[in-house]
Amino acid sequence: MNLDEMQTVWKAYDRQLQRTRAISEKIIVSMIAERSKARFASVRRQYLVGFGWLLLCLGAGGAVLWGNPFDYTYTWQFAPVALYCIGLIFLLSDMILAFRNLKRIAFHHHALDIALRNVIAVYERPRRFMRYILYGFLFSQIFLFPLSFLPRAIERMGLWTALGERLIAIAVALLLLYVAHRLGAFKERHRDKFKHDLSELESLKAIVAELQEE
Amino acid sequence: MINAHRAILFKVCHVYCRERALQEDLFQEMVLQLWKSYPTFRHESRITTWMYRVALNTAVSFFRTVRKTPEQQSISKHEFQIPDIASFPEEYGNRDVLHSAIDRLTRIEKALVMLYLEEKSYQEISDILGIGLSNVGVKLNRIKIKLGKIIKSQSV
């Protein structure tokens, strides 16, 4: 077989392909639907992983409260860990509610836009209360947790040196939070992608409607 | 528009992958990219040139990103099937030789050889792939030699 023969085979192949079924807007809708469904399935899997992780963190927090591995001497020193556990319980409850709402959504090709709007609504539900919980959680972990070691540090190195040392720990925690923020840890990427799918679907529908009018 | 030239997409799918599921994912991606980039198409080139450019660029980058994207599902069971070259009549006695020879080329070489088989001019190939005119000639000559060797080794 030489290159000329290859071209003959290719042309015959091309002729055959011209006789295949046409692509309709239904296929494009079906493609968007499949992509959204795949993303939706991945979001649900991520939720399950998130549950596992939060439960593990909660277990660790409980173990600290129960076993006192940091040798806290005053009751108030347990406050940051207690706040951490309470915050985790709230976050876990919020996640369970969101997961239950997501589970109720069914992706059908004929009502894809409704499904996408429902998913976006789950992401954009009013969460002012949860935001306060999250701020409290972060505050306790960034400021209060390092300060809970202050009494022992004062015993070891005196008031001002201990305060300075604890401030370094707080600064490191703040820096880590800033880096996480810059890396997009708090961005709702999935919500943006679902919104993108919805806008694609809406523009496709608009094009189809225009073509039908013409 | 896509419909009129859908064979281009099928051919790119067949040139770039053998696996049916991957072909369908690639096809899906190409149609979406064409549909999304159509508003920016300025009609300065022929529609087929633009389609080849988008389809081949999508195919070349598809395999770089395929592992990072969320798992896609086959669309065939719902709406559509990419025609299977293996199911075509026997007039393509040498189709397997052709495909296994193309399989052994690099991603860029596949794009070049496909456009060559489509009997595109060097100028069109240069426009589609965004490489210099003289570079097209040099690369195509190398690919022809490479393909000749592959085919010869297969026939032995």
Q: Which residues contact A40 (CB under 8 A, 6 or more apart)?
A: A102, A105, A107, A119
Contact call for residues A119 and A201 (beta carbons, < 8 A)? no
Would you list the DSSP string of A60-127? HHHHHHHH-TT---SGGGGHHHHHHHHHHHHHHHHHHHHHHHHHT----GGGHHHHHHHHHHHHTS--
Least Cα distance to B71 among A112, A184, A123, A36 occurs for A36
C-alpha distances in Å from residue B114, one per residue of B27, B58, B102, B134:
16, 15, 9, 18
To the nearest whole angstrom, how far is the Cα of B134 from the nearest Cα of chain A? 21
Element (H, E) at B75: none
Is B91 or A106 the better-scoring residue by pLDDT? A106
The predicted pLDDT at position A49 comes to 92
pTM of structure: 0.55
The predicted pLDDT at position B151 comes to 74
| ipTM > 0.90, yes or no | no
- The answer to whether residue A110 neighbours chain B at the CB level (below 8 Å) is no
Residues of B in contact with A27 (CB under 8 A): 31, 75, 79-80
Two tokens, residue B85: 């070259």
Q: Which tens digits make up the pLDDT trace of A129-169?
A: 888 888 888 898 899 999 999 888 888 888 899 999 999 99
The three-state secondary structure class of B69 is coil
Give percent helix, percent strand, percent coil of chain B, each to the nearest 5.
70, 0, 30
- The half-sphere exposure of B150 on its side-chain side, counting CA atoms within 13 A, is 18
**CA–CA gap between residue A195 and residue A124 (Å, rounded):** 11
- State the best of A5, A32, A35 to mutate against chain B, taking most chain B CBs within 10 Å: A35
Two tokens, residue B6: 């859908």
Residues of B in contact with A12 (CB under 8 A): 91-92
Mean pLDDT of the residues in chain A: 84
Q: Which residues contact B93 (CB under 8 A, 6 or more apart)?
A: none
pLDDT over 80 at B2, yes or no: no
- State the best of B80, B82, B151 to mutate against chain A, taking most chain A CBs within 10 Å: B80
**CA–CA gap between residue B156 and residue B152 (Å, rounded):** 6
Band (pLDDT 50/70/90 cuts) for residue A80 is very high
Contact call for residues A163 and A150 (beta carbons, < 8 A)? yes
**CA–CA gap between residue B136 and residue B55 (Å, rounded):** 19
Residues of B in contact with A10 (CB under 8 A): 98, 117-118
Angle between helices A25-67 and B20-37 (to 10 degrees): 100
- The answer to whether residue A212 neighbours chain B at the CB level (below 8 Å) is no
Lowest mean pLDDT among A34-48, A94-108, A188-202, B64-78: B64-78
Residues of B in contact with A32 (CB under 8 A): 32
- The answer to whether residue A211 neighbours chain B at the CB level (below 8 Å) is no
Q: Which tens digits make up the pLDDT trace of A19-61?
A: 666 666 667 777 777 778 888 888 888 889 999 999 999 999 9
Alpha helices in A124-188 (DSSP H): 128-139, 145-147, 150-157, 159-182
| Average pLDDT over every residue of B108-124 | 86
Q: Given an 8 Å threshold on Cβ–Cβ distance, is B6 in contact with A42? A: no
Q: How many DSSP H helices and E strands does chain B contain?
A: 7, 0
The predicted pLDDT at position B71 comes to 46
Would you list the DSSP string of B81-103? -PPPGGGS-TT-TTHHHHHHHHH
Lowest mean pLDDT among A57-61, B71-75, B83-87: B71-75
Residues of A in contact with B31 (CB under 8 A): 23, 27-28, 31
Q: Given an 8 Å threshold on Cβ–Cβ distance, is B119 in contact with A41? A: no
A165 phi and psi, to 5 degrees?
Answer: -65, -40
Contact call for residues B85 and B138 (beta carbons, < 8 A)? no
